[in-house]
């Protein structure tokens, strides 16, 4: 049960101006420039933060390189590194509500979701990869009798990490924890509209005993600090979650610098497919609205394309509409709120523009589509359902990243597969059917990194998450995530 008095006290607490965190200490921007940190709750300015540039990024990268070179982290015994990561997770859990409220004030996620999906999730992720430290080992190859083949796993070096604003602590931990557990040093560039909680997360890492320079944070604009991190020839691996347009720029920067490995999670336009034989249409409808409207639709795996079999199409749309109309939109620090604030004014305008464009393309707005609570100064939007979205419509093909659901009718399994696989993305998907054979066929046929069957959303750190097609490459979560941050080295030894 969330303590409202404590939440209100944390809401009212002033937030100090923030600088970068480099080599274990506060680092003022070289240029002296700063950015206002605006809360989407009411549009007011919470504080300011450093506006990093290439000089600041290079200072952070140099600190990370020194920390890696002198082995101050990777050279510690595995048991000691494991204990530090466990302590880091403990400190996060001790500040669970404080971190959550700080993050909600910064990015607008409803607190009922954020308390689990953000700080608690980050702590669990850090604990998971900390536990893996003393269980990572190399291999002995089945080589000829006169040769011994040893496969060593080594940290890659300096990892650049660029994370988005929708779930900064959760996604940040997915990238930071395995990189650090594998023995690397990291430079983190948070999103400019969601940096505060990640700065505190890094401070807690140092309080837990992580050596200086192992985790550095540079705040600022993507086109400045993020671009400089991507262009640095002293970064060995770059990991990113965000838009496809930015992903392309990062790949180009890699090609023009040191050919660093780049791992990308680039979002999606995920199909959620409801067959007429779904075991429970009530459950399917409830899952469908939550799959796209929670966190104002700002979820990479959101089921933003709903494909419904024709025989139940109108009935199912009515189930959706009635649920969406009842969803409570408002103050994200109110535990009763189901849909919080859109992250920024620019994102809100993009969402509303997408609705208007869908109408121009001939789609039908069933409900929503309007800005709400404008007098509050914050950025709120009605959950929006748009029917009759054809394959050629832009809303079918393009990610909105807002509370906008596109509904399309299909006839039969073959058309459902064709529609599901149409478009450039392949991150997540869902299938609702009581036919076990059909469920297996759909899992095999859909081109996506995740296929939910008779459920949507919710997952665990033990299973990988990654995309196909233009949704990216590489995997977050599970032990497979460690592969991005390790090099394999073969020792080939004569023994006769």
Based on the number of CB atoms within 10 Å of its own CB, is 201 exposed (0-12), middle (13-18) or buried (19 or more)? buried
C-alpha closest to that of 2 among 146, 153, 104: 104
- List all residues 6 or more positions away from 21 whose beta carbon is below 8 Å from its beta carbon: 27, 199, 202, 203, 206, 215, 216, 217
75: tokens are: 């050279």
Residue whose entry in the numeric block shows the structure tokens 């600090």 = 225
Please, how many CA atoms are within 13 Å of residue 326, restricted to the half-sphere of its CB? 9
- What residues pair up with 141 in beta bridges, in sequence order? none
Q: How far apart are CA 396 and CA 271, in angstroms?
A: 10
174: nearest Cα among 471, 462, 456: 462
Taking CA atoms, 189 is separated from 37, 51, 54, 63, 171, in Å, by: 15, 11, 12, 15, 12
Distance CA 172, CA 477 (A): 11
| Cα dihedral 469→245→191→35 (10° resolution) | 180
Catalytic residues: 265
Please give the structure tokens belonging to residue 156. Answer: 């890659």
The residue written with tokens 């969402």 in the block is 351
DSSP 18: B
- Which residue bears the tokens 């998907």? 429
């Amino acid at each position: 049960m969330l303590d409202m008095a404590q939440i209100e006290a944390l809401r009212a607490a002033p937030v100090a101006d923030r600088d970068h965190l480099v080599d274990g200490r506060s680092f003022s921007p070289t240029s002296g420039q700063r950015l206002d940190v605006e809360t989407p709750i009411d549009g007011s300015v919470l504080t300011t933060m450093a506006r990093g540039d290439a000089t600041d990024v290079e200072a952070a990268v140099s600190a990370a390189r020194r920390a890696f070179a002198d082995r101050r982290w990777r050279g510690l015994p595995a048991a000691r590194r494991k204990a530090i990561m466990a302590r880091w997770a403990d400190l996060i859990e001790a500040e669970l509500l404080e971190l959550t409220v700080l993050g909600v004030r910064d990015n607008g996620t409803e607190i009922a979701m954020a308390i689990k999906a953000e700080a608690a999730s980050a702590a669990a992720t850090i604990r998971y990869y900390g536990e893996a430290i003393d269980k990572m080992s190399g291999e002995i190859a089945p080589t000829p009798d006169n040769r011994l083949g040893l496969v060593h796993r080594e940290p890659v070096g300096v990892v650049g990490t660029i994370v988005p604003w929708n779930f900064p602590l959760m996604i940040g931990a997915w990238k930071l924890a395995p990189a650090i557990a594998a023995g690397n040093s990291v430079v983190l560039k948070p999103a400019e509209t969601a940096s505060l909680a990640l700065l505190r997360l890094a401070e807690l890492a140092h309080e837990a005993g992580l050596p200086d320079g192992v985790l550095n944070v540079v705040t600022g604009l993507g086109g400045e600090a993020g671009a400089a991190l991507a262009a640095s020839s002293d970064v060995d691996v770059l990991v990113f979650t965000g838009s496809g347009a930015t992903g392309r720029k990062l790949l180009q920067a890699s090609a023009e610098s040191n050919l660093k490995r780049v791992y990308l999670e680039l979002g999606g336009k995920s199909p959620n497919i409801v067959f007429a034989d779904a075991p429970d249409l009530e459950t399917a409808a409830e899952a469908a609205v939550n799959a796209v409207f929670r966190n104002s639709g700002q979820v990479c795996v959101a089921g933003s394309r709903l494909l419904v079999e024709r025989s139940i199409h109108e009935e199912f749309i009515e189930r959706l509409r009635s649920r969406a109309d009842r969803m409570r939109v408002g103050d994200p620090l109110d535990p009763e709120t189901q849909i919080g604030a859109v992250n920024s004014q620019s994102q809100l305008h993009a969402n509303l523009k997408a609705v208007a464009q869908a109408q121009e393309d001939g789609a039908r707005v069933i409900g929503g589509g309007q800005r709400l609570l404008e007098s509050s100064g914050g950025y709120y939007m009605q959950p929006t359902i748009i029917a009759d979205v054809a394959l050629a419509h832009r809303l079918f093909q393009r990610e909105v990243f807002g509370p906008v659901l596109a509904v399309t009718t299909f006839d039969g399994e073959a058309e459902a597969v064709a529609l599901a696989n149409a478009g450039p993305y392949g991150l997540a998907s869902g299938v609702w059917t009581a036919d076990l054979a059909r469920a297996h066929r759909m899992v095999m046929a859909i081109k996506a990194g995740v296929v939910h069957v008779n459920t949507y959303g919710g997952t665990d750190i033990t299973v990988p998450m990654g995309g196909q097609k233009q949704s990216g490459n590489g995997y977050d979560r599970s032990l497979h995530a460690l592969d991005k941050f390790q090099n394999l080295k073969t020792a080939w030894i004569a023994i006769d």
